Amino acid sequence: MKLIRFSQGDSKPRFGIVIGDRAVAFTTLTQRSGVAAPELSDSRAYLAGLPASELAARELAAWGEARLVEWPEGEKPKVQDVRLHEPVEVTALFDFGLTPRHLKSSAETMMRYEKDNPQTAPLLQAFATMVMTKPSAPPAGVPERLSYYKCNMNSIAGDGETIPWPLYTSRLDIEPELAVVYGNPQQPVAGFCIFNDVSARDVQAQELFGGFCLAKDMDKGNQLGPYLVTADEVGDPYALEVVVKVDGQVRYQGSTTEIDHKAEEVFAWLGFITSIKPGTVMGFGTIPDCTGLDHDDFLDPGAAIEICFERLGTLRCRFAQPAGRLLPSRWPLRPALQRFC
């Protein structure tokens, strides 16, 4: 199943499902069928009610699919005609670094620009060494330690968003990631979606130790969607092809095969620290070769971006034009940004 939160015009987001090329709210399905399903009233109730809520959703979807042709268009808008919000109401958002080759490539690109900076060069060297060093085995009964970044809960966005260009960066970048959505102890994996962790690269080295603030916490900097895809439809989430298109042309390509830990290991480590609540979303790490930082090949203001994951769909965004004059960057000015300085 592909679960969504969608709206039309100024209406509030509704929780629903994709049937064919249509977006159908569960409230419509329950009203039409006469079946009461409080566990489908919103995404929070759905996640807390797993696995029974998934079964209820499947049964209602099958009932609706057989009758959809009879319904008015207003009750079954085309997916392309609605606004797709983040597919679940997010309780917490964590971004893990479980793709070592991307981390290594990132440190190498940053070092090209930071090698003469006495403040950041040693940090990058230490970071690269840490990434490529296999950690020691944890004590008995303790899960393996997995580093993560706590994301800005005020900057979560859905599909088709225009991402404001922060005036403090000349290297705005995407970070395509596989994300898992936590359900509850009875069914921990509710499903998977695409996560785009937007990043300002020319300020990131300064924040390697102390927290990614300027680098990660900009408006609409945590993009999720377009759907929550249930595990049965995803198949093997660690064997998905990834393609990034910019202005309609293929720019980057990669695969989820380079994720080096699975959801169960992520849950084990996070659960060792704190109780995991339904609606917690965890990114596994940036897909290698799928960012500007991996290639030192950055995107320009106005770029239209499509992040395509096999079986998970396409998450779209656009980088806005800077709304004012860019602040000076510590990295060389790119020609495409000269008119903003």
Q: Tens-of-pLDDT digits for all 341 residues of the chain?
A: 999 999 998 889 999 999 999 999 999 999 999 999 999 999 999 999 999 999 999 999 999 999 999 999 999 999 999 999 999 999 999 999 999 999 999 999 999 999 999 988 888 888 877 776 777 788 888 899 999 989 999 999 999 999 999 999 999 999 999 999 999 999 999 999 999 999 999 999 888 877 899 899 999 999 999 999 999 999 999 999 999 999 999 999 999 999 999 999 999 999 999 999 999 999 999 999 999 999 999 999 999 999 999 999 999 999 999 999 999 998 999 999 999 99
Query: What single letter denotes the amino acid at residue 169?
Result: T
Query: What single letter denotes the amino acid at residue 232?
Result: D
- HEC states along the chain? CEEEEEECCCCCCEEEEEECCEEEEHHHHHHHHCCCCHHHCCHHHHHHCCCHHHHHHHHHHHHHHCCHHHCCHHHCCEHHHCEECCCCCCCEEEEECCCHHHHHHHHHHHHHHHCCCCCCHHHHHHHHHHHHCCCCCCCCCCCCCCCEEECCHHHEECCCEEECCCCCCCCEECCEEEEEEEEECCEEEEEEEEEEECEEHHHCHHHCCCCCCCCCCCCCCEEEEEEEECHHHHCCCCCCEEEEEECCEEEEEEEHHHCCCCHHHHHHHHHHHCCCCCCEEEEEEECCCCCHHHHCCCCCCCCEEEEEECCCEEEEEEECCCCCCCCCCCCCCCHHHHHHC
Residue 123: predicted pLDDT: 84
Residue 52: predicted pLDDT: 98
Residues in contact with 65: Cβ distance below 8 Å, sequence separation at least 6, in sequence order? 19, 20
Residue 210: predicted pLDDT: 74
Is the whole-model pTM more than 0.95? Answer: yes
Upper half-sphere CA count for residue 71 (Cβ side, 13 Å): 22
